Amino acid sequence: MALISWGQQPDMQQVAKLEDVIEAIVADNEDANVEQLLDDLQAFREAPLNINQCQRADLERLYFLSPVQIDHLLTYRQQYGPILTPFELAQVDGFTRQLIGWLQLFVVFGSAEASKRFFPTRQEILLRAIRQIELQKGYKEPRKYQGSPEKLYLRYRFSSSTVRAGLTAEKDAGESFFSGANPEGFDYYSAFAIIGLKDDQHQLFLGDYLARFGQGLVAWQGFSLAKSAEVNQVARFGQGLRTYSSTDENNYLRGLGAAFHWGNFGWSPFVSYKKFDANREQRAEETVFTSFQSSGLHRTANEIEDKNSVSALTIGTNLTYTFQRFSLGVTGVYNRYGLALDRREADYNRFLFEGRQLTTVGANYQWGVSRYYFYGEAAWSGSKGFAFIQGVEGQLADELELSLLYRSIGKKYNAPLGSGFTENSRLNDEQGLYLGATVEPLANVSVKLYADLFSHQWIKYTTVAPAKGAEYLLQVNYQLNDEWEIYGRYFYEEKPVKSKGADFQFNLEQQREKWRVHLSGAIADRYLLRSRLEWINYQHEEQSKGWLVFQDFGWRSKANNCSAWFRVAYFYTDDYDSRIYTYENDLLYQFAVPAFYGKGMRFYLNGKVKICEKIDFWMKLARSWFIGVDTIGTGYSQLDANSRTEVKFQLRFKF
């Protein structure tokens, strides 16, 4: 075991570690809905868990802990008593230097005699404004966007020991504000309240909320773990009903829910009625909707027409029995639309749900045995489809942890609220086997790798025939010393994608290879550096390549009331197919994983100022230059320029 040292870390290093957690979890997924993740992690930053009194459900909400690691932590605490310092965590099986560093951000090592977390009454108001300086085509005459180019955001939160409530309001760029289609102000409003009964033994949910049960085959909304360099974090923790605080304007429930607990039994009934965005058409004498709209943008006449155009009634329930390290749950969801879903005629739509109502039922379990954790879920949908997920995680030795997951999603299976561990974005028609491993061959070295093999029995939007694919990742981390770390990563993906011949279409293998070298560390207490070099090689009908390099500089003031990040990046790719994703530091509760393609440079300056104990201010200025082009983007989003500039401002009041 290597010598591990801890001290009082400056806020700058804490922020850098928090970003490492987020980037490791979401990988290169630019579509990941991580607002809820950021909200959860920030809540634990400001009101940390007491490591000696927290329960399994609390640790599961940290996302980066695997089920086996949680079991080992709870077992260690039971056998040896309170954990008094971070040094002790090094004795817990499976807890690496990196994991301990991450965990320190969200826990405290207080007395175990305190029976519960204490929540003083707190309120928070957050205001945010974002503006792209260059005007897009939609704002110019003849004008297509109804509103101004500013994106505005308002958030209010109230929390006490028994009640938590909140309000979120947002206007996207191009949407009207106190005019046009939005005379009442913002384009989107969301509110929630959660009331704890009998010392939080029972909870009542009002307004907007999420449903997350089992492995997601029946009901899972919001953020979910996917394939990433954290290879042993593919198991889902059924988190039940959760308050909703994101700006995704469609993927949530609105109504009434409850979570009751009696001894080993838990019951969560819920009912929701809300409207969502969809494309409507007139078919014969009936109005139907043909597809869902998930962008949440309401700038043009067509987008406004699709807003809240269809209603959905959802009724569901979950019953769970838990005993020590074993739990068994049953979930059922009934969904009914105000209009019939009648998809457009296409081969890839053949087995997808159509109609007005659908029922989905599933059973899930979790079982910890010694150093192993078994989990799974089986589900049936009213469209006569079946789905099955079975996984196991285990620590075969102190230096080796494995994760295995098999999934079989029938081509007739459909679940409106479902979101499982799949390669395809839709929970339908997929068979796959995932194997991940974490190995620590040396004290300061960790190796992470996974292989995922998947197949589809029917045609997808991107294919013209049944297909098979594979994805592989290998990452080696080396801790140079207490301050510096370097890692190298190799990623390979191969899957069929349709290609057009002279007279017909056919599947042609698409190959994507990515290499990355990343170095990060601190100079003294107040300066941080991060450097990255990444290459990509893409092959389909033609070959395209690309690379990106960036340098980050972090700084904080002596008084720790100011901090700033600066990045300069250069990228060169042949086309969009060889695009490269990178994580960017952003405002509080904000997240960015932009895609870079073409040839150009990008810089951003991001800073925070603590004006006083109750007021914080953030800003970000980002600019991208593209070499050899006269326009950026297409359609109404087109810019008649070779650069793009964005400014962000955010103010938070806490009282």
Question: Per residue in 402-437, pLDDT tens?
Answer: 999 999 999 999 999 999 899 888 899 999 999 999
pLDDT at 30 exceeding the cut of 70: no
Question: Per residue in 265-303, pLDDT tens?
Answer: 999 999 999 999 999 998 878 999 999 998 899 999 999
Cβ 310 vs Cβ 276: under 8 Å? yes
Range scoring the smallest mean pLDDT among 223-227, 535-539, 567-571, 600-604: 223-227
Between the alpha carbon of residue 380 and those of residues 156, 170, 333, 411, the distances in Å are 40, 37, 11, 12
Residue 296 and residue 288: Cα distance in Å, rounded?
Answer: 20
Cβ 319 vs Cβ 266: under 8 Å? yes
Evaluated on CA atoms 394, 325, 225, 36, the torsion sign reads: negative
Residue 630 and residue 454: Cα distance in Å, rounded?
Answer: 41
The b-or-e profile of 357-395 (16+ CB within 10 A means b, else e) is: ebebbbbbbbebeebbbbbbbbbbbbbebebbbbbbbbb
Which tokens in the block code for residue 200?
């939080």
Between the alpha carbon of residue 3 and those of residues 98, 104, 637, the distances in Å are 13, 17, 54
pLDDT at 39: 77
User: How far apart, in Å, do the first and last CA atoms of the chain sit?
Assistant: 44
Residue 156 and residue 26: Cα distance in Å, rounded?
Answer: 26
Helix H or strand E encompassing 24:
helix 11-26
Range scoring the smallest mean pLDDT among 36-45, 81-90, 236-245: 36-45
- What is the DSSP pairing of strand 107-108 with strand 49-50? parallel
Residue 103 and residue 236: Cα distance in Å, rounded?
Answer: 19
Tell me the residue ranges of DSSP E strands in 102-220.
Answer: 107-108, 122-132, 150-159, 163-171, 188-197, 202-212
With a pLDDT cut of 90, the percent of the chain lying above it is 61
Helix H or strand E encompassing 200:
none
Range scoring the smallest mean pLDDT among 311-320, 498-507, 511-520: 498-507
Which residues contact residue 120 at a Cβ distance below 8 angstroms, ignoring those fewer than 6 apart? 160
> 283: which strand partners?
286
Query: 590: which DSSP letter?
Result: -
Helix H or strand E encompassing 43:
helix 35-46
Between the alpha carbon of residue 9 and those of residues 101, 104, 359, the distances in Å are 10, 10, 51
pLDDT at 27: 60
Write the secondary structure of 158-186 as one string of H (helix), E (strand) and C (coil).
EECCCEEEEEEEEECCCCCCCECCECCCC
Write the secondary structure of 415-438 as one string of H (helix), E (strand) and C (coil).
CCCCCCCCCCCCCCCEEEEEEEEE
Which tokens in the block code for residue 71?
């079991």
pLDDT mean over 21-42 = 68
Residues in the chain, total: 655
Nearest to 582 by CA among 647, 534, 648, 538: 534
pLDDT at 8: 43
pLDDT mean over 382-387 = 94
* Half-sphere exposure in the Cβ direction for 344 (13 Å, CA): 7
Which burial class, exposed, middle or buried, applies to 31 when counting CB atoms under 10 A from its CB (0-12, 13-18, 19+)? Answer: exposed
Q: 20 by DSSP, 3-state: which?
A: helix
Residue 36 and residue 245: Cα distance in Å, rounded?
Answer: 6
pLDDT at 14: 62
Between the alpha carbon of residue 111 and those of residues 80, 199, 496, the distances in Å are 14, 20, 56
Helix H or strand E encompassing 254:
strand 253-262
pLDDT mean over 201-208 = 94
287-295 long-range contacts, CB within 8 A, separation 24+: 287/339, 288/339, 288/340, 288/341, 288/342, 289/337, 289/339, 289/340, 289/341, 289/342, 290/341, 290/342, 290/343, 290/344, 291/343, 291/344, 292/250, 293/250, 294/248, 294/250, 294/251
Which tokens in the block code for residue 621?
């200025």
pLDDT at 261: 92
Residue 210 and residue 245: Cα distance in Å, rounded?
Answer: 10
The average confidence (pLDDT) of the chain is: 89
Nearest to 258 by CA among 166, 333, 194: 194
* Confidence at 116, pLDDT banded by 50, 70, 90: very low
Residue 246 and residue 39: Cα distance in Å, rounded?
Answer: 9
